[in-house]
């Protein structure tokens, strides 16, 4: 596609439920990043994929969070047993390869609200 | 741990005024990027600075990278309401991770 696409754009879920957030990166981009952003704050790094593998998952807050990218394109961020503190905008970005001096293109994000 | 501190966190000024946003760290970055984010959108890259002391201009925006590549500034001349948004700096760390500042929320009043 022309840009990074994230679905759904909004998700409201009950505390304790499981959610999946999807990211479609720009075609051909090997690097994919997930971030979480609270209102008025900068993005908080969660996980970085280079191709199909998670090159760095040090930002995942706990074992309730998991992400996959099985074919090196679409990625899914999975959150188990959601908590109210998980409420945030989840941003996905892709770039041609490791960021270096290349530009990261962001999706519009998925706003997750846990009630 | 590499950290980036942005200041001020919030700035509200009148149209036509000048302003400067700062991004500071104790760590050295291979390069530093400035992004602008509007409500409901993802951040969009404005500029990347690479060389210590480098200055880049984008219309009324002037970006500077510190000589030691630890800090950067964004100066806006004659601010306009269309400049309103969240300005984010991000340093490219040793493993190509982006280290983000918390952002400066800028409001330009007509």
Q: What is the pLDDT of residues B47-101, one digit of tens each?
A: 999 999 999 999 999 999 999 999 999 999 999 999 999 999 998 877 677 888 9
> Cβ contacts (< 8 Å) between A41 and chain B: which residues?
102-103
Distance from CA of A17 to the nearest CA of B (A): 25
Task: Give the tens place of pLDDT for each residue, A25-69.
Answer: 999 898 899 999 998 788 898 999 989 999 889 899 999 999 999
Residues in Cβ contact with A39 at an 8 Å cutoff, skipping those fewer than 6 apart: none
CB-based contact A45:A60 (threshold 8 Å): no
Please list the residues that pair with B34 across neighbouring strands. Answer: B47, B89
CA distances from A42 to A28, A111, B36, B103 (A): 27, 15, 11, 5
Residue A1 has pLDDT above 90, yes or no: no
Nearest to B41 among A35, A98, A108 (CB): A108
Report H helices in B1-110: none
- Going B107 to B78 to A43 to A95, the CA torsion angle's sign is positive
**Given CB atoms, is A49 within the 8 Å cutoff of chain B?**
no
Please give the Cα distance from B107 to B11 (Å, whole number): 6
**Given CB atoms, is A93 within the 8 Å cutoff of chain B?**
yes
Task: Give the tens place of pLDDT for each residue, A69-112.
Answer: 999 999 999 999 999 999 999 999 998 866 555 788 999 999 99
> Cβ contacts (< 8 Å) between A93 and chain B: which residues?
42
Please give the Cα distance from A23 to A91 (Å, whole number): 9
Nearest to B101 among A40, A42, A108 (CB): A42
Contact yes or no for A40 and B103 at CB 8 A: yes
């Amino acid at each position: 596609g022309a840009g990074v696409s994230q679905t759904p754009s909004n998700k409201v879920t009950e505390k304790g439920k499981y959610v999946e957030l999807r990211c479609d990166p720009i075609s051909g981009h090997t690097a994919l990043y997930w971030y979480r952003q609270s209102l008025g704050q900068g993005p908080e790094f969660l996980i970085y994929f280079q191709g199909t593998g998670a090159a760095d998952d040090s930002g995942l807050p706990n074992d309730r969070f998991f992400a996959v990218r099985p074919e090196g394109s679409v990625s899914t961020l999975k959150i188990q047993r959601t908590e109210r503190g998980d409420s945030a905008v989840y941003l996905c970005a892709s770039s041609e390869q490791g960021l270096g001096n290349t530009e990261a293109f962001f999706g519009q994000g998925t706003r997750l609200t846990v009630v | 741990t590499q950290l980036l501190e942005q200041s001020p966190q919030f700035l509200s000024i009148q149209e036509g005024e000048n302003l400067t946003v700062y991004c500071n760290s104790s760590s050295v970055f291979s390069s530093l990027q400035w992004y602008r984010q509007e409500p409901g959108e993802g951040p969009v890259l404005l500029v990347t600075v690479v060389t210590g002391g480098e200055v880049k201009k984008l219309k009324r925006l002037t970006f500077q990278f510190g000589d030691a590549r630890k800090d950067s500034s964004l100066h806006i001349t004659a601010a306009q309401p269309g400049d309103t948004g969240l300005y984010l700096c991000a340093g490219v760390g040793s493993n190509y991770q982006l280290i983000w500042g918390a952002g400066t929320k800028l409001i330009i009043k007509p």
